[in-house]
Structure 1
């Protein structure tokens, strides 16, 4: 599985932590910013398609289907991106799954601790997270409660019950990151 993130800190730390917590089959977690693509959902999806196709070509050359990615996910925020709708459409056309958080990924982090059903922005979410993680500055720390993902999923589903598929943008607040976490959990070995 390949997971390409728009962000370079919180998303990477969270998904790496989830991967380590559930110990799934191989999950490659990357940030597009680390490879110089910036924070644009269109670039994130384009990068994911290129990487998937590169691995598929490598698998054909090696005559080993296990080299190719079985599943590809992107993790993006709504923010003020003008390319989001186009990116979601392109992802659907290319069998890429996109988990979208509105307004941002910090909503998913907050759901591990508390409800949030009123529209908000990233600054408000960070303040709410600091009530539970006083030193939060995009970094999660080793003691983040990954075991609360089911509670977070329940809160996300209550906030926007219609957001049950990838490649969809929900209301503010909403996130379907739980779909990706469920896939990682199901492929876990523990």
Structure 2
């Protein structure tokens, strides 16, 4: 059975002098290619911030060759969570720094998927779940999804609109940045509409099609949903420093609507001169949603 990778991913290392402690998010993935390539894109977009706390993600079983069935993933995640909780207790971490442990897995007609979901919930493990498979979430970036795939992943994968001969078609299991960046709002809307078509009494393990990967994006990475509503998220990056254009929701006194304001900060030498309470960042060429930033 695969085990969580340690070493350079350990958050117990002392922070650099003048640095800031980060909240760690550990993820176990069922797939060895598709889900990790998606998560790597998210990681490459910058450092998400929750209440002035930077978040750092780690794929805990990236190099594991076995132990990738949903129940195995949950069991590994539970062990890692116990270990990280003990570390956090010894370190007397504040609640905002407490680590999270997640699993990414699909239905894929796995016999014990409901048991895996139940065990994860009882143990406080987050799950990003898709039925029949992760390709449903990828497909939601392109078009609405409503018809059942009868539990067959190839049905979802076959609907991905990859032009023949393109790099997308040549490496269909690899998520490429242009496939998802710039369309998060669409994907979340399509996923919520798709999930909402199922009766409330039907468990998500029986909902086909279904995906809640967007909940991971907004909870673990804490990208504010209001900011991801197409109001414009952007980031310009260079090796010497980062210039962010950050959208921050602010409730008005005149009603329930939110007014979103732009705020620039500069990060030099790894230290932000000004940190907002909520931030969402993307790269300049492919923003998660909305406009790209202007030059300096």
When normalised by structure 1's length, the TM-score is 0.84
CA RMSD in angstroms, aligned pairs only: 2.7
Q: Which moved more, 1:65-74 or 1:18-27?
A: 65-74
In the other structure, the counterpart of 1:153 is 188
How far does residue 135 in structure 1 lie from its aligned partner after superposition? 3.2
Q: Which moved more, 1:140-149 or 1:91-100?
A: 140-149
Instruction: Give the whole-Å Cα distance in 1 for the aligned partners of 2:87 and 2:60.
Output: 22
Instruction: Give the whole-Å Cα distance in 2 for the aligned partners of 1:36 and 1:63.
Output: 35
Residue 98 (str. 1) matches residue 133 (str. 2)? no
In the other structure, the counterpart of 1:139 is 174
Q: Which moved more, 1:6-15 or 1:140-149?
A: 140-149
Q: Which of 9, 13, 17 is the equivalent residue of 2:41?
A: 17
Residue 53 (str. 1) matches residue 53 (str. 2)? no
How far does residue 20 in structure 1 lie from its aligned partner after superposition? 2.5
Check conservation: 1:37, 1:43, Cα contact below 8 A.
Answer: no
Distance 1:109 1:22, change over 3 A: farther
Distance 1:144 1:163, change over 3 A: farther
How far does residue 99 in structure 1 lie from its aligned partner after superposition? 1.7
Check conservation: 2:29, 2:36, Cα contact below 8 A.
Answer: yes
Q: Which moved more, 1:31-40 or 1:73-82?
A: 31-40
Where in structure 2 are the equivalents of 1:1-190 lying within 5 Å? 1-21=25-45, 23-24=47-48, 25-30=54-59, 32=61, 34-64=63-93, 69-120=98-149, 121-131=152-162, 133-161=168-196, 168-183=204-219, 184=221, 185-186=223-224, 188=279, 190=281
Check conservation: 1:72, 1:96, Cα contact below 8 A.
Answer: yes
Q: Which moved more, 1:59-68 or 1:124-133?
A: 59-68
| Structure 1: gaps (5+ residues) | none
Distance 1:49 1:68, change over 3 A: farther
Check conservation: 1:11, 1:105, Cα contact below 8 A.
Answer: yes
Determine which structure has the larger helix proportion and give its number.
1
| Structure 2: gaps (5+ residues) | 1-24, 49-53, 225-277, 282-296
SS of alignment partner, residue 159 of structure 2? helix
Higher-Rg structure is 2
Instruction: Give the whole-Å Cα distance in 1 for the aligned partners of 2:87 and 2:186.
Output: 39
Report the count of equivalent residues: 188
SS of alignment partner, residue 134 of structure 1? helix
When normalised by structure 2's length, the TM-score is 0.56
Q: Which has the higher contact order (CA 8 A, sep 6+)?
A: 1
